Amino acid sequence: MDWFPLWNSLRIAAISSFFVFFTGIAAAYYVARLPRVIKGVLDVVLTLPLVLPPTVVGYLLLLVLGPRRVVGAWFLELFGFKLVMTWWSAIFATSVVIFPLMYRTARGAFEAFDETLSHAGKTLGLSNSYIFWRIRMPCCRQGILAGAVLAFARALGEYGATSMIAGYTPGKTATISTTVYQLWRTNQEQEALTWVLINMAISAVVLLAVNMLERRQRTPQRKERGHGSHR
């Protein structure tokens, strides 16, 4: 059996999750600080890929990255290669599709953060970056991790936008999801079922991880570590 689709799916999901982890957190942090109107508009724009059909996202991406479109043509001329129909083209597609998941969960976590902790840090003379990395992020850790895992799971299952922008070339751009479709289309039911089961197993593990993270978020972390409260 050719394991390439699994490897390809995992690297696409890992790389796009890595990008989205930082961009999503940064967007969540800065959007929350913007004036209300701009915040509302940006929030819609950044969340849109969540509700759009992935094929629409793929179409929009092709409009920008296609070899005869603005960015795509410029890239082709400058570096001599196309942005579409390669394995890493799928990174663009999955990143756009999973961005809203990371952005929204991180924003939810930031909004639940008690701002007085940041105020206290400032009056104690702590730098803004210390407050962000050592106070805000650890306090929002569970929510942010849950968002990252969810985004990774969604990236693993991305089909629509990926198939449009990276296509299906066995051994080159094939992912689990595009392989399942291709195998089913060519009547290779047995092989298709194998990949379906692999995909379900990975997704189940990931969702289990999300549930565990969310449960830990609901019960304050400090109670677990200690020996009960001394109230």
Partner 1 sequence: MALIVDLEKRLGDFHLQASFRVEHEALALLGASGCGKSVTLKCIAGILRPDAGHIELDGTVLFDSAAKIDLPPQQRRVGYLFQNYALFPHMTVAQNVRAALRHCPRQERRQTAQQLMEIFHLTGLEGHYPAQLSGGQQQRVALVRILAAKPSAILLDEPFSALDACLKYQLELELEAILEDFGGSVLYVSHDRGEVQRHCRRLAVIDNGLVGRVTTLPSLLAHPVTVAEARMAGCRNFTACTIHAGMLKAPAWGLNFPCSKADGTYTLGLPDGAVAPGDILQGQVERSMADDVTATTLLRLSTGETLLLSLPLTQCPSVGSTFSFTPRLEAMLLLPSP
Q: Which lies closer to partner 1 via its Cβ, residue 68 or residue 231?
A: 231
Residue 68 interacting with partner 1 (CB under 8 A): no
Over the Cα atoms of the chain, what is R_g?
Answer: 21
Query: 75 or 113: whose CB is closer to partner 1?
Result: 113
Q: Minimum Å distance from CB 117 to partner 1?
A: 5
What residues from 132 to 151 belong to the interface with partner 1 (CB under 8 A)? 134-135, 138-139, 141
Q: What is the largest CA-CA distance in the chain?
A: 69
CB of 216 to partner 1, least distance (A): 12
225 sits near partner 1 (criterion: CB under 8 A): yes
Name the residue nearer to partner 1 (CB basis): 88 or 130.
130
Site string for partner 1, 192-221 (x = CB under 8 A): ----------------------------xx
Residue 132, phi then psi, degrees to nearest 5: -70, -50
Shortest reach from residue 223's CB to partner 1, in Å: 6
Of 68 and 230, the one with the shorter C-beta distance to partner 1 is: 230
Residue 122 interacting with partner 1 (CB under 8 A): yes
What's the burial of 205, exposed, middle or buried (CB within 10 Å: 0-12/13-18/19+)? Answer: exposed
Query: Is 112 an interacting residue with respect to partner 1 (CB under 8 A)?
Result: no
Contact 206, 152 (CB under 8 A): yes
Out of 51, 80, 81, 116, the only residue in the binding site for partner 1 (CB under 8 A) is 116
When binding is defined by CB under 8 A, the residue of 14, 64, 119, 201 that contacts partner 1 is 119
Q: CA–CA separation, 47 vs 39, rounded Å?
A: 12
Q: How many residues bind partner 1 (CB under 8 A)?
A: 29
Q: Does residue 111 bind partner 1 (CB under 8 A)? A: no
- Shortest separation between residue 167's beta carbon and partner 1, angstroms: 46
Where along the sequence are the contacts to partner 1 (CB under 8 A)?
Answer: 114, 116-117, 119-127, 130, 134-135, 138-139, 141, 220-223, 225-231
